[in-house]
Amino acid sequence: MSVIRVDNSERAGFETALEELKGFFSELSKEKGRPLTYNLLTYGCQLNESDSEKLAGMLSDMGLEKSSQSGELAPADVVVMNTCSVRENADKHLFGNLGVFKSFCKNGDTSVIAVCGCMMKVPENVNKIKSSYPYVNLVFDPQQLHRFPILLRDAVRKQKLSVSICGEDYIAEDSYFPIERQRRFRALVPIMYGCNNFCTYCIVPYARGRERSRSFSEIMKELEDIASQGYREVMLLGQNVNSYGKGNEDGKTFADILDEASKITEFSRIRFMSSHPKDLSDRVIKIMAERPNVEKHLHLALQSGSDAVLKRMNRPYTAEGYMRIADNFRNMVKGGSLTTDIIVGFPGETEEDFVKTLEICKRAAFDACFTFQYSIRPGTKAAEFPDQIPSDVVTERFGRLTELTNALSEESCKRLVGQTKEVLIEGISKAGNGVYTGRTITNHLVNFTIPDEIRNQEGFCEDSLEGRLCNVDIQYSRPYSVDGVMERFTDGE
Ligand code: SAM
Ligand code: SF4
Ligand code: F3S
């Protein structure tokens, strides 16, 4: 399979298709006697979220408004489902939801349905749509995001299900797309796509294709733009950001991106996701330690504490090797936080293997763990492994692991109590009641109140809090967050 850089010369066709769709939807809007809306459903990781910001930009350019009805199953004239296939429960939603939208198609509330994302790289899913959901208009894969307007225009013209799954791994720069960023405080910036690691349990390399990196200069241009638009936090994305640049000619590495990005002083937070233990360089850790605007948080997936399991997972490190990196990070980035992903019940995992996972979690004192029950992904190597673990054993181990990781996370939160921490404000907390939410540079979630003397200060504006920095006196800890009271703004804005 080849990697193809999308050339801006293709944009003429892209623009024409957007214009045609704009005309088509404008006619439909006249027929329906109201503005047309879209509902974009996004599942999965931040890479999908980032793709959806581009889909949203393209849908807006077609003259559609985001549906004001809340809930994933809100009817809208155009429905786009951006799917995830990483675990079984991630792909369960799709077919149930498609069933619901059938009734919206019948009563005229919905006119166009497109399905994209990682599930579309699994042929069984596409076949099921073909056979049981023929009212879907378009199916396409994540590799062809840059063709969405063209594919949708062709599907609408044909007026029957159009399936476009390609064999190439395209890479388009962000500047190719109109992007409608979903958050005011954080800009998502993918720096690379795909994955070459083929961990034996994981569908991502099949769904997202071969690893390919964006151009260094284009990334830098985008970061400068984002900074000038007022974003204070940037999240650099890739399945394995530490191997950024392989295959590019300029020799730039992920450390170079972090180094340059950290010189953009408008950014108060530079975050990144995900890192793989095999490629994490000391230079990256050094930059994290030295630059005040690079987050002091490393998400480094461990997956298992047993060398035998790691080997069968095709994760090329040992538990001790992982601990060396963890210790190095803790020594170099003082007060930093370390989080991880763990899979329980991988084929052949014995009680002894599992106990090793518990032990390493305690040793590494993770600040937070994302724990998953192993889910068979058809098409991956591990799906064929013997010794799949019975579900009652997996559930029991998962319970023990969750108990431990909850306690570790609670400990991590407790350590913050009594300290003043700088927080980047993300908005009003889900709890409401005048409570705001934000994160420390170590990615701890902080809920806080704002005292009246700050609210009454001249220039205080409730609507422009997102993205601002403030000091919070941390007074109370919960299992996954801390509570506090704002002391003052620290960004001088
Ligand atoms: N590229 C990232 C890395 O290696 O750190 C991981 C990205 S993946 C989208 C997020 C997590 O999902 C993985 O770290 C793994 O723990 C989990 N995961 C992936 N495939 C899984 C499966 N088949 N069953 C259970 N968990 C899975
Ligand atoms: Fe999946 Fe492994 Fe690639 Fe992460 S590094 S996306 S777990 S194959
Ligand atoms: Fe899911 Fe695809 Fe991300 S499988 S986790 S949306 S890369």
Q: If DSSP states are collapsed to H, E and C, what string results for the chain?
A: CCEEECCHHHHHHHHHHHHHHHHHHHHHHHHHCCCCEEEEEECCCHHHHHHHHHHHHHHHHCCCEECCCCCCCCCCCEEEEEECCCCHHHHHHHHHHHHHHHHHHHCCCCCEEEEEEHHHHCHHHHHHHHHHCCCCCEEECHHHHHHHHHHHHHHHHHCCCEEECCCCEEECCHHHCCCCCCCCCEEEEECEECCCCCCCCCCHHHHHCCCEECCHHHHHHHHHHHHHCCCCEEEEECCCHHHCCCCCCCCCCHHHHHHHHCCCCCCCEEEEECECHHHCCHHHHHHHHHCCCECCEEEECCECCCHHHHHHCCCCCCHHHHHHHHHHHHHHCCCCEEEEEEEECCCCCCHHHHHHHHHHHHHHCCCEEEEEECCCCCCCHHHHCCCCCCHHHHHHHHHHHHHHHHHHHHHHHHCCCCCEEEEEEEEECCCCCCCEEEECCCCCEEEEECCHHHHCCCCCCHHHCCCCEEEEEEEEECCCEEEEEEEEECCCC
| Side-chain half-sphere CA neighbours of 406 within 13 A | 8
Give the model's pLDDT for residue 430: 80
Give the model's pLDDT for residue 75: 87
Please tell me the pTM assigned to this model: 0.96
Tokens of 290: 């030295």
> Any residues with CB less than 8 A from the CB of 431 and at least 6 apart, and which?
447
Tokens of 406: 């909850």
Contact assessment for residue 483 and residue 448, using Cβ atoms and an 8 Å cutoff:
yes
Four-residue CA torsion sign, 72, 179, 182, 60: negative
Tokens of 410: 């609670």
Contact assessment for residue 425 and residue 268, using Cβ atoms and an 8 Å cutoff:
no
- Same fold for the domain at 183-295 and the one at 299-414? yes
- The CATH superfamily label for domain 420-489 reads Nucleic acid-binding proteins (2.40.50.140)
Distance between Cα 134 and ligand 2 center (Å):
33
Q: Which atom of ligand 2 is nearest to the CA of 202?
A: 1
Distance between Cα 198 and ligand 2 center (Å):
6
- Give, in words, the CATH class of 299-414: alpha beta
Q: Which atom of ligand 1 is nearest to the CA of 370?
A: 16
Give the model's pLDDT for residue 493: 65
> Any residues with CB less than 8 A from the CB of 31 and at least 6 apart, and which?
none
> Any residues with CB less than 8 A from the CB of 336 and at least 6 apart, and which?
288, 289, 296, 297, 298, 329, 330, 442
- Give, in words, the CATH class of 3-168: alpha beta
212 in contact with ligand 1, CB cutoff 6 A: no
Which pLDDT tens digits describe the chain residue by residue (493 residues)? Answer: 578 999 888 899 999 999 999 999 999 999 999 999 999 999 999 999 999 999 999 999 999 999 988 677 888 999 999 999 999 887 778 998 998 888 888 888 899 999 999 999 999 999 999 999 999 999 999 999 999 999 999 999 998 899 999 989 999 999 999 999 999 889 999 999 999 999 999 999 999 999 999 999 999 999 999 999 999 999 999 999 999 999 899 999 999 999 999 999 999 999 999 999 998 999 999 999 999 999 999 999 999 999 999 999 999 999 999 999 999 999 999 999 999 999 999 999 999 999 999 999 999 999 999 999 999 999 999 999 999 999 999 999 999 999 999 999 999 999 999 999 999 999 988 877 789 999 999 999 999 999 999 999 888 888 889 999 999 999 999 999 999 999 999 987 6
Residue type, 250: D
Ligand nearest to the CA of residue 197, numbered in listed order: 2
Domain map of the chain by residue range? 3-168, 183-295, 299-414, 420-489
* Residue of 121, 310, 341 to mutate, ligand 1, most atoms within 8 A of C-beta: 341
Q: Which atom of ligand 1 is nearest to the CA of 377?
A: 23
CB atoms within 10 A of CB 444: 24
- Output the CATH code of domain 183-295: 3.30.750.210
Angstrom CA distances, 425 to 49, 172, 311, 463, stand at: 20, 32, 41, 12
| Side-chain half-sphere CA neighbours of 224 within 13 A | 8
Distance between Cα 12 and ligand 2 center (Å):
35
Tokens of 67: 């549906």
Distance between Cα 419 and ligand 1 center (Å):
34
460 in contact with ligand 2, CB cutoff 6 A: no
Contact assessment for residue 137 and residue 156, using Cβ atoms and an 8 Å cutoff:
yes
Distance between Cα 42 and ligand 2 center (Å):
20
Tokens of 321: 């090797």
Distance between Cα 239 and ligand 1 center (Å):
10
197 in contact with ligand 2, CB cutoff 6 A: yes
203 in contact with ligand 3, CB cutoff 6 A: yes
